[in-house]
Structure 1
Amino acid sequence: MIGVQAWKFRDTLPPPSVLRHVVDIHCHPTDSEIPVQSMDNLPIIIGAMSTLQADQGLVRDLATAFPDKVVPSFGYHPWFTHWIALVPYESKEEHYRCIFKDADEHPEAFQKLLLHLPEPVTLQTVLEDVRQNLMAFSSAMLGEVGIDRASRVPYNYVSSPGDLTPFTIPLEHQLAILEAQLDLATELGRNVSMHSVKSQQATVELLDRMTERHGERWMKISIDIHSCGFSPQTWLYIEKHHPNVFFSLSTAINSRSPNHRALIAACSSRRILVESDCHKIDDSMQRTWDMVLIVAEVKGWPVESSWEEVVDESQQGVVRRLENNWREFVQGNHVQTRKLSKRAASG
């Protein structure tokens, strides 16, 4: 029945009739082996992210095999943007020295890192790859893309991701690659799953800039700030000025800080989405449901134990509310609330 309190579901899952309306908007299932049986039995919809050149095809294959359960996302994550060259380069070493301006301050670390770094790929090649994949799936999003001011580059991401160098990727380089991908998403009318860590002001400035650059075309797409760690104050500015921006939360990331509850409380009921951000498909359902319950608890929304009971809008349960938010996110075509310049308004 409708109206059951969230705590009663802590150790149980609702029936499939409810779960089939739950969307894990952001996860990384192709980072681990995916048992076919797990996908066959998965009762929810997942947004499967790609992050670097090697996994674009894996996400494509997963979405092809399970088109009713997988919303594919194609894009290049900020952690790997140093692998991308904005301009032609003479050599691999010359490219990475241009990225890591302090390479001469840490010569041994740089040479050790250089052994494990791939040959750079050009931004043009990246954009062509993303374009091709997005156009192959009518529901595909751009993701995971974004900016990260906290991440340090590991010596070998594959074998020892925790062994970190002293180097970080310059924000201006990350932004150049992110904005090029966002320009493409705007051109193709595709929604976006965006990473933002320790970059609140830079993200606000980016959203302002993209609104001015693309105008009404930008309003046609939706942006999800995934595992959002913004302060309520920053979010309320975004909510007021950027009607096409949503946020999603995960227990994997957001439960590390109590701030996410204040963020849920402050946020409009229509801008919240949920995710697992997990790397194993078998964890996706439970982790997403855990976040559904947190949203219900903070917002005071009832939790559906059945999908058949019909109630009026004021008594809608958390799953119905989040499903409505997902639909608005997918639909796009948002109404601009801030005054645009004449150039931006013309698109």
Structure 2
Amino acid sequence: MTVTDDPDAATTRDGGELVAACEAVLHHVVDVHCHPTDSPATLSPDSMHRLPITICPMASRKSDQPRIRALAQAHPDKVIPGFGYHPWFSHQIATETVISKQDHYRSILLKTPINPDHESIFAELLESLPEPILLSDVLTELKQNLADFPNAMLGEVGIDRSFRIPVDFDASPRKLTPFTVPLEHQLSIVEAQLQVAVDLGRNVSFHSVKAQKATLDLMDRMVDKHGDRWYRISADMHSCGFSPQTWTDVQRKHCNIFLSLSTTINEKSPNHRELIAVCSPNRLLVESDFNDIGGCAERTWEMVKIVADVKGWAIEDEWVQGVIPEESWGVVRRLERSFQLFRQGQHTPPAKKRSAATSGEIS
């Protein structure tokens, strides 16, 4: 990165030193997954005015949906919204009419045979849990939000097999309970939301933690269930934790699945650089996965620099307008092209194998 004296340059941190990044270059950077509405105190008109990049803020629970709406309405030039319900909050959604709050949560969280030690913990947790909402109401709200924002995607949704429900999610530190949301319930919630995405032709930001096989099985079911309609949309495995070999298999088998990485999550993994190395340039995205709007650009730029280093791509210190040869592209232009492919969808389905009967062959 070349230091510039441009007074309009934005600043990011690199090893504790301030390095100037050209504002025109940052204008083409997209943080494909972040959570600024989780820190509303830092989210202000001034902080959004200073934001030099485009962000894709994700909703995760009931309170998030209107916050994301308001942010997208106020800053349509910088915000591509995501609406949906995260697996961490899927237990708050009822697939059938609820008899009582206690019966709903008991049926999901207390497994048979019931551990006697869990009853008192469940009673404490129950007090802090909201009244469950019907899946049908969730889907009605989701459809309306996606209809109101033609550029919106479904997110954040997914599967998580390691998350333990806290007594109070917003407390710091959180007091964790032994309860997890059964995979079957998570799948019922995420598959219903994916159906909406397919019906409306909307892309997806997908969360997968300790659920590699379940996620890949789900993607296979989407192909079997929706066929070519599934390939109209793109799915991004956000802060992807797959092994490099698994990702190589995924991108070969699923032409509509993309990969995005964040320093917030992936820098903790020793294989994240190898994951970047094996990922197709046309499937690679960057994100912050951060909940403070003041840090979204900085953390996204950190990942841009890691991608550039691993791929051997130059980092632009100015933005050249017009058509330039692809071999001269820098990292930001390449990531921008990848995001454009993600947004446009309409992927070519893999060629179907012709059977002997359909091809007229006689054995």
Q: Shorter-normalised TM-score: what interval?
A: over 0.9
The residue type paired with residue 25 of structure 1 is: V
Give the secondary structure class of the aligned counterpart of 1:30: helix
Query: Could you say which residue in structure 2 is the equivalent of 1:295?
Result: 307
Q: Does 1:81 align with 2:81?
A: no
Question: Which protein is bigger by CA-based radius of gyration?
Answer: 2
Q: Percent identity?
A: 54
Q: Does 1:114 align with 2:126?
A: yes
Residues 182, 237 of structure 1: CA spacing in aligned structure 2 closer, same or farther, 3 A cutoff?
same
Q: Does 1:35 align with 2:44?
A: yes
User: Could you tell me how far apart the structure 2 residues matched to 1:337 and 1:82 are?
Assistant: 36
The residue type paired with residue 207 of structure 1 is: M
Please list the CA deviations of residues 75-123 of structure 1 after superposition, one character each: whole Å capped at 9, or x if unmatched: 0000000000011221111111110133831111111111111111010
Query: Could you say which residue in structure 2 is the equivalent of 1:218?
Result: 230
Query: Could you say which residue in structure 2 is the equivalent of 1:60?
Result: 69
Q: Does 1:146 align with 2:155?
A: no
Give the secondary structure class of the aligned counterpart of 1:25: strand
Deviates more, 1:82-91 or 1:103-112: 103-112
User: Could you tell me how far apart the structure 1 residues matched to 2:353 and 2:221 are?
Assistant: 11
1:31, 1:279 within 8 Å by CA — same for their partners in 2?
yes
Per-residue deviation, 1:341: 10
User: Could you tell me how far apart the structure 2 residues matched to 1:69 and 1:100 are?
Assistant: 40
Query: Could you say which residue in structure 1 is the equivalent of 2:327?
Result: 314
The residue type paired with residue 67 of structure 1 is: P
Deviates more, 1:145-154 or 1:10-19: 10-19
Q: Does 1:22 align with 2:29?
A: yes
Q: Which has the higher contact order (CA 8 A, sep 6+)?
A: 1
Aligned length: 337
The residue type paired with residue 27 of structure 1 is: C
Deviates more, 1:162-171 or 1:307-316: 307-316
2:25, 2:318 within 8 Å by CA — same for their partners in 1?
yes
Per-residue deviation, 1:234: 1.1
Give the secondary structure class of the aligned counterpart of 2:155: strand
1:212, 1:340 within 8 Å by CA — same for their partners in 2?
no
CA RMSD of aligned residues (A): 1.9
User: Could you tell me how far apart the structure 1 residues matched to 2:189 and 2:36 are?
Assistant: 24
Query: Could you say which residue in structure 1 is the equivalent of 2:78?
Result: 69
Per-residue deviation, 1:13: 3.5
Give the secondary structure class of the aligned counterpart of 1:258: coil
Give the secondary structure class of the aligned counterpart of 1:156: coil
Residues 238, 86 of structure 1: CA spacing in aligned structure 2 closer, same or farther, 3 A cutoff?
same
1:153, 1:167 within 8 Å by CA — same for their partners in 2?
yes
The residue type paired with residue 21 of structure 1 is: H
2:243, 2:271 within 8 Å by CA — same for their partners in 1?
yes
User: Could you tell me how far apart the structure 2 residues matched to 1:181 and 1:155 are?
Assistant: 26
Per-residue deviation, 1:207: 0.5
Alignment of 1:144-293 (within 5 A): 144-160=156-172, 162-293=174-305
Per-residue deviation, 1:9: 8.6
User: Could you tell me how far apart the structure 2 residues matched to 1:340 and 1:289 are?
Assistant: 43
2:13, 2:298 within 8 Å by CA — same for their partners in 1?
no
Query: Could you say which residue in structure 2 is the equivalent of 1:345?
Result: none
Give the secondary structure class of the aligned counterpart of 1:322: helix
Please list the CA deviations of residues 269-296 of structure 1 after superposition, one character each: whole Å capped at 9, or x if unmatched: 1110000010010101100000000000
Residues 13, 145 of structure 1: CA spacing in aligned structure 2 closer, same or farther, 3 A cutoff?
farther
User: Could you tell me how far apart the structure 2 residues matched to 1:239 and 1:128 are?
Assistant: 32
1:155, 1:161 within 8 Å by CA — same for their partners in 2?
no
User: Could you tell me how far apart the structure 1 residues matched to 2:217 and 2:173 are?
Assistant: 31
Give the secondary structure class of the aligned counterpart of 1:46: strand
Unaligned runs of 5+ in 2: 3-11, 356-363
User: Could you tell me how far apart the structure 2 residues matched to 1:184 and 1:154 are?
Assistant: 29
1:212, 1:341 within 8 Å by CA — same for their partners in 2?
no
2:26, 2:52 within 8 Å by CA — same for their partners in 1?
yes
